[in-house]
Amino acid sequence: MNSFFHYLIPIALAAVAIVLLLGLLNMLRGGSPERSQKLMRMRVLLQFVAIIVMMAALYFSAR
């Protein structure tokens, strides 16, 4: 189970970083404000998922 989280945590963090960068690039290029808003909402959702994954990893590693 620990090896599962060993791979899942970096994937979750990378997903957050990629969506954040896409949102920032869209804003810097003067892209659609609606698209930037959707990307930032997706970032918040992915951050929530990443935190849940990290908390699950801590929970299962302590057992």
pLDDT averaged per 10 residues, the chain (length 63): 86 96 93 92 96 93 81
Which structural domain, as residue segments, surrounds residue 25? 2-62
So what's the pLDDT on residue 42?
96
Measure the CA angle with vertex 48, ends 19 and 41; round to 5°: 45
Give the span between the Cα atoms of 31 and 11, in whole angstroms. 27
So what's the pLDDT on residue 43?
95
pTM for the predicted model, two decimal places: 0.85
Domain count, the chain: 1
Contact between 43 and 22 under an 8 Å Cβ cutoff? The reply is no
3-state secondary structure the chain: CHHHHHHHHHHHHHHHHHHHHHHHHHHHCCCCHHHHHHHHHHHHHHHHHHHHHHHHHHHHHHC
